[in-house]
Amino acid sequence: MSRRGAKPQRRVTRWLIAAALTLMSAASAPALEFQCIEPSRYKNLLPVFDDDPNVFFSYFGLPRGRLPDMETCRSLLITGTLATGDADAMLERIIEGKGWLAVLYLSFQGTNLEEEARVAAIVRGFSLKTRAVRHAAFNYLPDFVLWGQPPLALTGTSAAAPPAREDILPLQRGLKTFVTRRDLALKLERDRSNCDESCRTVYHAGVNRLFNTSPASAPAPAPAAGNANDRLRVALIYQLDLNRLPATSDPQLSKPLGWAGVSPPATARLLREKCNPEFTVAESLEARLGDALEAAARNNLKPREVEALAVPFEAMSRGGARLQQCLAAALEVERLASFQRHCPQTCDRQALSVTFAATAREMLERAGKL
Amino acid sequence: MRRVWLTILLLAFAGCITGNRASAIEVTCIESSKYRHLYQLFGGDQKKLAAYLQIVTNRLPDPEFCRAALITGKVEPAKSQDVNKLLEFVVKNQGWLAALHLSSEGGAVGTGYQLAFLARVFWLKTYTVNVAGTALIYTPDFFVPPLAAPPGPAATGTAAAGATPEPSPESELAQGWKAYLAEQKKLAPTTVTFRACVSACGLIHAAGIERFGQVRVHRSRYSGEGALIDLSKSMSVTNEGLMRSEELQVSFYQQMDAGPDFIRTYQSTPPETTTAVDVSRYPRYVADYLNARCNADAGQLQRLERQLNISISAVSSPLFGQWIKTDRLRSATHKVRDQRGKAEQCVAAAHERERLAAFDKMCGGGCDRQKLLTMVESKVRDLAKGSR
């Protein structure tokens, strides 16, 4: 080998080592990982709607239009460790989803106040739902319909129970098949499956917030230790939820963030307003069924008395289903409208990033003054 | 006669050849079903158990007897002694064994029939195992746990100061239930790795005099090594053999009165898969008898209670963040449970008498195991005869 050829070869080797080191450091830098929850791709959810676009649009109370891209994910699992730049990565995922990304399953670690405030502002801004992972056993289920047993028939005797009614709840048939999928369990690490610190703030930013609970036999997870950031986080959530700061004497400020109610106040108001007729009917049906049950109980719940309850039960089931559908639709319409507000024609990722960063900075500054 | 034996041979063709001969069923006592623990439900007073089940106090179970057995593993052909294991367990518990909790992938159909007839002649109840994680959840078969106190003056602490509430049977049962649960917690959990009752296990399940939980069924198949159909046989032989096996099985399910839905599902499920199906709680005429005797339909009340819970969940689920109040339905749940508790107690007492009488009939002067095995085999033969 000539010495003339050795120099460029060394340069190439040095360059390759440098590149490898850069890549390695990039790979090991903490960052969030966004994974599509496979069953939540719209192609996999469509069977829940009987593969019928009309059912899809009517269930959500949407005008007929373009269906979401079938490969789009309705839900993402977020793991890893929060780091600078993750808010932009989050934004990117939302833009990719074109408004059809609806739910974030949160199981990430770390504290980064600025970044968490930005991610929280984005989550609330786009009206996303959040699910906090508090235990490694978490199954994905659609967020827009309640999976429960179909109403039972009350006719017949112990000897011959007629089959359960599946014609009352919309989506029941499709959902029944969906829940038999074998890939519904989220891929979670047993010892890194919790949502504390920054993750807790992002959880609170959701417009519909749920978490999983440990099985009865498992020990309850230890509560998050209080730290200096708790006060700041409570103040952040106050601003997201109530658009104001808490009073300096507010006892909440001295506690770590708990597990808030499912709906922030504004969402609760919106749902009550949009579904007011359905709420009224469901409440009335509950009273009517209560009366019928009381009358049957006075007659010792004899078989004929129980059979007669089938009618008010069916009405109650239908009323409950209509209420659920209305609530699901209201949340869907709100999320799509939020996306439309931020991305009227196209999404300007840069501008959105700047806007949300400014919102987050302002919230943090105000919270810091408490 | 030749036809009968041909059918028995076809049984072997359609079900007795199994792939895995390493394991057979295991019959074990469910520790928390031992009578010494069950007495806790009645404050440790054996006489109260007798009064609850309306049985005479001079015949009470030994505290170490088991009320429920867990059956696990694969049902194996005759030589593996599966039938003897169950028979031995029944005999050992002197008529006080009341329920079988089933956790089995199935296996040999011929043995399945024998186990099933054994369960029926000794008037046993059957359950598909109820499991949390890998721990068996056992609830006594004769007892409906009372619900926590309904919202009301007593529960909200507005009762007059110093007033002592009157003891009621309901509150005694609630205390007993608490004591029993505390006792259960001290025991090592019973581990169950297979959470279903599949295929030939369904024969045992269907033979229960009271049946709870789903069974996974499929229509007849050749269960040879790694194959559902024996392709070395001709199509006509296969069709004839499996049709005859099906006739036999349908005839068995009819005899056990598993319900038309059960039979329909069995017949329509292809051999390479299984479908979950409910077995009706009682055979029809047993239901009619119990309804007349107890002046209530316990199964219907059980469904009513389930329906109430479904309705409450549907309108109070946290999924969407907003729900309606369901105070009236919750209050009704307590009334239904109360009524059902009485009906279930009446049903349990009727079964208790019948089961003890069945044991006395079979084993009055001591159990002759060989005679009992011969009787069970003859019931399988009668079934084959009857199905033609």
Task: With a cut of 90, say whether residue A330 has pLDDT above it.
Answer: yes
pLDDT at A4: 45
Question: Which range of residues forms the domain containing residue A157?
Answer: 29-262+346-368
CA dihedral B192, B193, B195, B199 (to 10 degrees): -110
Count how many domains chain A has.
1
Calculate the CA B270 to chain-centre distance: 25
Q: Which residue of B has its CA nearest to A260?
A: B321
Q: What is the mean pLDDT of residues A63-67?
A: 95
Instruction: Tell me how far apart the alpha carbons of residues B248 and B243 are, in angstroms, rounded to a whole number.
Output: 9
| Residues on chain A touching B295 (C-beta within 8 angstroms) | 300, 302
Q: What is the mean pLDDT of residues A14-43?
A: 70
Q: Using a CB-CB distance cutoff of 8 angstroms, which residues of chain B are in contact with residue A159?
A: 257, 259, 280-288, 299
CB atoms within 10 A of CB A158: 26
Residue partners of B47: CB distance under 8 A and separation at least 6: B57
Q: Is residue A183 part of a domain?
A: yes
Q: How far apart are CA A190 and CA A175, in angstroms?
A: 28
User: Are B352 and B97 spatial neighbours (Cβ–Cβ below 8 Å)?
Assistant: no
How far apart (Å, rounded) are the C-alpha atoms in residues B9 and A45? 49
In DSSP terms, B75 is beta-bridged to B107
Q: Which residue has the tokens 């029939």?
A: B113
Domain contains A142:
yes
Q: Show which of residues 223-262 on chain B sit within 8 Å of chain A, judged by CB atoms.
A: 257, 259-261
CB contact (8 A) between residue B322 and residue A297: no
pLDDT band at B83 (very low <50, low <70, confident <90, very high): very high
Q: At what angle do helices B235-256 and B369-387 cross, to 10 degrees?
A: 120
Is residue A278 included in any domain, yes or no? no
Question: What is the distance between the alpha carbons of residues B375 and B237, in angstroms, rounded to a whole number?
Answer: 31
Gap from A75 CA to chain B (nearest CA, Å): 15
B304 vs A309: CB contact, 8 Å cut-off? yes
Is B59 in the A-facing interface, judged by CB distances under 8 Å?
no
E strand or H helix at A210: strand A209-211
Rounded mean pLDDT of B126-150?
A: 89
Q: Most A CBs within 10 Å: which of B181, B212, B320, as the mutation test of the A interface? A: B320
- Please provide the size of chain A in residues: 370
Q: Which of A209, A263, A301 sits opposite B336 (nearest CB)?
A: A301
Is residue A10 in a domain? no
Single-letter residue type at B334:
H
Do B175 and B146 form a contact (C-beta atoms < 8 A)? no
AA identity, residue B83: V
Query: Is the ipTM here above 0.85?
Result: no
Q: Where are the domains of chain B?
A: 2-289+366-387
- B318–chain A Cβ distance below 8 A for any pair: yes
Q: How many CB atoms lie within 10 A of CB B173?
A: 19
Contact B180, B91 (CB under 8 A): no
Q: Of A164, A310, A153, nearest to B278 (Cα)?
A: A164
Quote the DSSP letter at residue A39.
G
Answer whether residue A1 is part of any domain: no
- Interface check for B198 against chain A (CB to CB < 8 A): the answer is no
Is the C-alpha dihedral spanning B185, B189, B190, B194 positive or negative?
positive
Residue A274 lies in a domain: no
The average pLDDT across A338-348 equals: 96
Side-chain half-sphere of B331: how many Cα atoms within 13 Å?
17
A162-186, pLDDT tens digit by residue? 666 777 788 988 998 999 999 999 9
* Overall average pLDDT of the A189-194 stretch: 81
- In the predicted model, what is the mean pLDDT of residues B173-188? 93
pTM: 0.80
Mean pLDDT over B249-254 rounds to: 96
Which of A158, A286, A323, A332 has the most B C-beta neighbours within 10 Å, making it the best mutation to test the interface with B?
A158
What would the two tokens of residue B124 be? 């046993």
Q: How far is CA A58 from CA A166, A336, B315, B322, in A?
A: 19, 15, 21, 21
Looking at the partner chain, which of B132, B287, B290 has a beta carbon nearest the beta carbon of A217? Answer: B132
Q: What is the pLDDT of residues B187-200, one digit of tens each?
A: 999 999 999 999 99
- Name, of A14-18, B54-58, B92-96, the range with top average pLDDT: B92-96
The per-residue pLDDT for range B316-337, each reduced to its tens digit, is 988 999 999 999 999 999 999 9
- Is A203 contained in some domain? yes
